[in-house]
Amino acid sequence: MATLSDRLDHVLGAKAAGSLSDAFDMRTVEDLLRHYPLRYATQGQPLTEEAPEDGAHITVIGRITKAELRPMRQRRGSLLKVVLDTGSGRGVDVTFFNGDKVKYVIREGARAMMSGTVNYWRPGQWNLSHPGYLILPESDGDEPALTRVRGGGDLRGIAQSAKGSDGVDMSFFEREFIPVYPATAKVQSWEILACVRQVLDQLDPVEDPLPAAVRDERALMPVGDALRLIHLPEHQADIERARERLRFDEALALQLVLAERRHETSGRTARSCPPRPGGIAAAFDERLPFELTEGQRQVIAEISADLAREQPMHRLLQGEVGSGKTIVALHAMLQVVDAGRQCALLAPTEVLAAQHYRSLCAMLGDLGQAGELGAAETATQVRLVTGSMSTATKRAALLAAVTGEAGIVIGTHALIQDSVEFFDLGMVVVDEQHRFGVEQRDALRAKAKDGVSPHLLVMTATPIPRTIAMTTLGDLETSTLTQLPRGRSPIASKVVPRRMHPNWVDRAWERITEEVAAGRQAYVVCSRIGDDEDGGGTRGKGGKARGADSGKEPPTTQSVLDVFDRLRTGPLARLRIGLLHGRLPSDEKDQVMRDFNAGTIDVLVCTTVVEVGVDVPNATVMVIVDADRFGVSQLHQLRGRIGRGKHPGLCLLVTDAAPGGPAMTRLEAVAATTDGFELSVLDLRQRREGDVLGSAQSGTARSLRLLSLLDDLEVITTAQELARTLVAEDPGLTRHPGLAAMMHAAVDSERLEYLAKS
């Protein structure tokens, strides 16, 4: 018998447990049972509910309605053209290249499972090319079907779940609902299913951590029943009831974490930093050469009130790209400086940190030149700390921080190092907060004086999925800027389908040439640096990698190095072209950005190091190469680098994505709107919530397995009310050990530790 806390290697054996651990970081029985099915196949129904992504690996079950052998056009041999009826209203086209070999197995009328890679050959029509296949037996009365494997390709692996050495128990495929799990190429869905069935056969009764009164009030089934029925349902109602219970568990676990966090935070104290008449903040306001928007003034007032309290501020400042968040944050920092304390501004990249440093120094003028001739009476110092600075420069900056001479210290992860100390840290500002884990923010905030917590302001443009999740579930107060400052120009976006219209790409380079001739500048953004970046390979013919690992597929995207070489010797040969990427030395990166700002570079060919914070008002065109390789929010962030002056912007999204496929649909949606908040919802729907409590941004490894922040707000609200009541009555949940255990089981314990610190 087995319990939820038992190790998988004791229950399944070392080989199966090792595969699950390597692929999914599963170690216990509960880890496996909380790996819920993505969906269920029913008799004749598809295993995918939506149009799959071009290039995705999927599995479908259906009945073969057509199996036609056709000769190949270009070489000897034949193709077997198959149509698989999945019950979805239209057949799935399947092609086998060794038609003569499989025609005797894959016949019309047979019921089959097929697993392969999706290819979009025409808009809205996808095809499986030479998939793995398994011919499923028809049930014969009440007798279980036991048959030898009739199949090929990767579906031969199903034999590993055989009963005996010479056959597979196929009766499971006669079930009404067949679970389909998140899987990998090495650990397939049916292998996970075999492990789940083995565990459930040995599982002891599960003690329910949720009090019976709570279950009864909400009509929730016991957790042991839910964990069984989510994997092996008999009816549709079983699936819905199991999901309802497990969804509530996830919501309650997260809300218990956040309720404990709120309880702990309520006991912290912070230094009060009220506004000071006649201080540096007031002097800065008087010098502003433009009028703040009504939204900026309102948010400044909200933050000012927070800073005046003796409880630490926890505020999220979100706003459109270019909505003026930096001005708001600077005003808040100056209010803290007026109170005699320091501020730290944490940026994710050296390029952005240096950009912030130049921008703040330019905005402050003599107000940021304390200790220099001509400095204003109320001036402070602004210092920059990055990992690649010279020893002497960094030493001077660190000295200014520890003595208190620097009121504002800007830096990257270098600020988190033990060698960085502050005289009296009063506020931490985190720009593009999704780029930092909770533990990194905590390391910086821990640099405040003993017994107090610094105020915290986190900023983001276009909320990404985890930001939305934290805002919905967390305890951050939220301020939102929706107005764009006067002078911002509109940005038009167009998709350039390179596969269908290669001449449109030529027109993109011509468009850049026209803009430069008119006195303006452009960006060309690529998704990666070079072909050898993942392992020391060298660039071969056509820009493809020749690495030591010959088993790896060569990159299909265009590197920034190759694009730079091609443009400066080809269509943009007459223009001044610069190169910028993350591997350049810090001083070289800084010089490239200075030259681009100064206008001595016409076209900047770069990676995503310019994604946030870079402000060159004269740049009006951006070409994003392989745009389908970027996320929705990232595309919107990149696009925000243009149109920052008096001239309108043009963003061209170059892609090889198949027409009508999900990637092309995503790009068309980005091109259709510049509303970042609308795009954030699109991003959330496509990528899901990401890892709400950790650093991961992808929806493929997320702590939210069933809970949807878009669809389950009522469940979240109910769980929040219960969690706050429980924690108020029993901080630490010492009287509710079952709930404490559920919280740590449903959410990774290491992430909980990081979250608790913040």
Beta-strand relationship, 342-346 and 406-411:
parallel
* pLDDT recorded at residue 471: 54
| 396 membership: H or E segment, kind and range | helix 391-403
* pLDDT recorded at residue 170: 59
The answer to whether residue 685 is domain-embedded is no
The answer to whether residue 385 is domain-embedded is yes
Q: Are residues 507 and 473 in the same domain?
A: no
Q: Are residues 474 and 512 in the same domain?
A: no
**E strand residue ranges, 439-583:** 455-461, 477-481, 491-497, 521-525, 538-539, 545-546, 577-580
User: Which of 264-268, 354-358, 516-520, 590-594 is predicted with the least confidence, judged by mean pLDDT?
Assistant: 264-268
Q: Are residues 312 and 448 in the same domain?
A: yes
Q: Who's near 233: CB < 8 A, 6+ residues apart?
A: 40, 177, 239, 242
Looking at the 3D structure of the chain, how many domains does it have?
3
Instruction: State yes or no: pLDDT of 296 exceeds 80.
Output: yes
The answer to whether residue 61 is domain-embedded is yes
* pLDDT recorded at residue 177: 81
The answer to whether residue 708 is domain-embedded is no
Q: Which of 109-113, 368-372, 658-662 has the highest mean pLDDT?
A: 368-372
Residues 127-170: pLDDT tens digits?
A: 888 888 888 766 555 544 444 546 566 665 553 443 444 444 55
Cα–Cα distance measured from residue 612 to residue 464, given in angstroms and rounded to the nearest whole number: 14
* pLDDT recorded at residue 464: 56
Cα–Cα distance measured from residue 757 to residue 752, given in angstroms and rounded to the nearest whole number: 9
Q: Can you give the three-state secondary structure of 288-346, one letter per residue?
A: CCCCCCHHHHHHHHHHHHHHCCCCCCEEEEEECCCCCHHHHHHHHHHHHHHCCCEEEEE
The answer to whether residue 107 is domain-embedded is yes
Q: Are residues 100 and 130 in the same domain?
A: yes
Domain boundary among 133, 159, 180: 180
Instruction: State yes or no: pLDDT of 373 exceeds 80.
Output: yes
* pLDDT recorded at residue 549: 40
The answer to whether residue 254 is domain-embedded is no
Instruction: State yes or no: pLDDT of 577 exceeds 50.
Output: yes
Instruction: State yes or no: pLDDT of 673 exceeds 60.
Output: yes
Instruction: State yes or no: pLDDT of 672 exceeds 90.
Output: yes
Instruction: State yes or no: pLDDT of 523 exceeds 50.
Output: yes
Instruction: State yes or no: pLDDT of 282 exceeds 80.
Output: yes
Q: Are residues 573 and 517 in the same domain?
A: yes
Residues 20-32: pLDDT tens digits?
A: 999 888 889 988 9
User: Which of 84-98, 228-242, 624-638 is predicted with the least confidence, judged by mean pLDDT?
Assistant: 84-98
> In 3D, which of 751, 730, 725 has the Cα closest to residue 252?
725
Share of the chain above pLDDT 90, in %: 38
Helix or strand or coil: residue 184? Answer: coil
User: Which of 119-133, 309-323, 404-418, 537-551 is predicted with the least confidence, judged by mean pLDDT?
Assistant: 537-551
Cα→Cα distances 286→279, 283, 590, Å = 11, 5, 31
| 408 membership: H or E segment, kind and range | strand 406-411
User: Which of 312-321, 471-480, 629-638, 642-651 is predicted with the least confidence, judged by mean pLDDT?
Assistant: 471-480
> In 3D, which of 63, 171, 52, 181 has the Cα closest to residue 113?
63
Instruction: State yes or no: pLDDT of 519 exceeds 60.
Output: yes
For residue 441, name the pLDDT band (cuts at 50, 70, 90).
Answer: low
Domain boundary among 481, 502, 518: 481
CB 524 within 8 A of CB 625: yes
Helix or strand or coil: residue 517? Answer: helix
pTM: 0.68
For residue 452, name the pLDDT band (cuts at 50, 70, 90).
Answer: confident
Q: Who's near 617: CB < 8 A, 6+ residues apart?
A: 644, 645, 646
Instruction: State yes or no: pLDDT of 197 exceeds 50.
Output: yes
Cα–Cα distance measured from residue 401 to residue 447, given in angstroms and rounded to the nearest whole number: 11
Residue in the block written with tokens 């565990």: 199
Residue type, 361: C
Higher pLDDT, 188 or 471: 188
CATH number at residue 382: 3.40.50.300
Q: Are residues 329 and 462 in the same domain?
A: yes
* pLDDT recorded at residue 633: 81
* pLDDT recorded at residue 339: 96
Q: Are residues 106 and 42 in the same domain?
A: yes
Q: Are residues 291 and 425 in the same domain?
A: yes
Instruction: State yes or no: pLDDT of 604 exceeds 80.
Output: yes
User: Which of 253-262, 286-295, 615-624 is predicted with the least confidence, judged by mean pLDDT?
Assistant: 253-262
For residue 542, name the pLDDT band (cuts at 50, 70, 90).
Answer: very low
Q: Give backbone dihedrals phi and psi of 654, rounded to 5 degrees, phi first.
A: -85, 130
Higher pLDDT, 145 or 223: 223
Beta-strand relationship, 168-169 and 146-147:
antiparallel
Ramachandran assignment for 622, one of left (phi > 0), alpha (psi -120 to 50 degrees), beta (any other): beta
> In 3D, which of 707, 710, 715 has the Cα closest to residue 684?
710
User: Taking residues 246-255, what's their average pLDDT?
Assistant: 90
Angle subtended at Cα 514 by Cα 510 and Cα 519, rounded to the nearest 5 degrees = 145
The answer to whether residue 728 is domain-embedded is no
* pLDDT recorded at residue 231: 95
Instruction: State yes or no: pLDDT of 306 exceeds 90.
Output: yes
* pLDDT recorded at residue 438: 55
User: Which of 440-444, 615-619, 740-744 is predicted with the least confidence, judged by mean pLDDT?
Assistant: 440-444
For residue 513 the two structure tokens come to 């040439």
Q: Please, what is the average pLDDT of the chain? A: 81
Q: Are residues 438 and 573 in the same domain?
A: no
Domain boundary among 158, 180, 202: 180
Residue in the block written with tokens 């290669």: 502
- Give the range of the structural domain holding residue 469, as residue numbers without chain letter: 280-481
Residues 394-427: pLDDT tens digits?
A: 999 999 999 999 999 999 877 877 778 999 999 9
Share of the chain above pLDDT 70, in %: 80
Cβ-in-10-Å burial (0-12, 13-18, 19+) of 724 comes to: middle
For residue 696, name the pLDDT band (cuts at 50, 70, 90).
Answer: very low
User: Which of 161-175, 437-451, 550-564, 707-721 is predicted with the least confidence, judged by mean pLDDT?
Assistant: 161-175
Q: Are residues 469 and 495 in the same domain?
A: no
Cα–Cα distance measured from residue 65 to residue 91, given in angstroms and rounded to the nearest whole number: 8
CATH number at residue 77: 2.40.50.140
Instruction: State yes or no: pLDDT of 356 exceeds 50.
Output: yes
- Other C-beta atoms lying within 10 Å of the C-beta of residue 148: 11
Q: Are residues 419 and 503 in the same domain?
A: no
The answer to whether residue 517 is domain-embedded is yes
Cβ-in-10-Å burial (0-12, 13-18, 19+) of 122 comes to: exposed
- End-to-end, the C-alpha distance of the chain in Å comes to 40
Q: Are residues 464 and 503 in the same domain?
A: no
Residue type, 117: T
